[in-house]
Amino acid sequence: MIEVNAISKQFGKLEILKKVTMSLPAGECIALIGPNGCGKTTLIKCILGMVLPTSGTILFEGKPIDNEYLYRNKIGYMPQMGRYPDNMTIGQIIKMMKEIRKEENTLDEELYEQYGLSKLLNKKMRTLSGGTIQKVSATLAFMFNPAVYILDEPTAGLDPIASEILKEKIIKEKEKGKLFLITSHLLSELDDLVTQLIFMQEGNILFQKPIAQLLDETGELKISKAVAHFLKRTQYA
């Protein structure tokens, strides 16, 4: 589905990504984790075409994304902090996105309904809590039935019920063969979701492993403990 081949990115003399290579196949739910400043956000923005890599290539469905933009219609992106015009209402934002996308396929309004956004359509974005903004971002990410979802800290700011609704939706769509790439600092949130884990450190991929293999190799039952176990073993080997 997505192939990242030797991607590097420099900002001036600062090298953020260092020949990153990874494969993101369809039907997988992949966690992209690592300490702050490791390059996760820059890598995501390269995949989305928001940042141009200094070198290397990214393939989407086997085709380079260079000078392309239509492939982005196949990606649902949920940013860590959605930024919307303050004076627009939820209803206006959703209407605007529908007009921009002009999607001919049936819209996925499951989250729209479950989050009760129909009752909030006249609320201006500047009056919303962080959690409600997250609900709007999640709804928009899923609304156009993309093949790929890139979710940056998707449960941040959500209450437990809203978080569970989102996780159930992720599982449901993954079972349809869609690809998910999720970043999160709360590894406990990922236990029931992810099938692979990518750990980044200082602009490199330290490892990419299926969850089953990671748990088996470390003898742990939880992803957070398995990652800590693996890192300790690597650090002190």
Domain holding 190: CATH number? Answer: 3.40.50.300
Q: Which residues, in sequence order, are CB contacts of 22 under 8 Å at separation 6+?
A: 3, 4, 198, 205, 208
* Residue of 103, 161, 100, 162 whose CA lies nearest to 136: 162
- What's the pLDDT score for residue 69? 85
Query: What distance, in Å, lies between the first and last C-alpha atoms of the chain?
Result: 35
- What's the pLDDT score for residue 110? 96
- What's the pLDDT score for residue 214? 93
- What's the pLDDT score for residue 8? 97
Segments in the chain below pLDDT 50: 237
Residue 141 falls in which region: left (phi positive, over 0), alpha (psi -120 to 50) or beta: alpha
Question: What residues make up the domain containing 102?
Answer: 2-235
- What's the pLDDT score for residue 11? 92
Paired with 32 in beta bridges are 183, 198
Tens digits of residue pLDDT in 51-66:
999 999 999 999 999 8
- What's the pLDDT score for residue 235? 67
- What's the pLDDT score for residue 236? 55
- What's the pLDDT score for residue 81? 84
The domain tally of the chain equals: 1
Vertex 138, ends 109 and 83: CA angle to 5°? Answer: 125
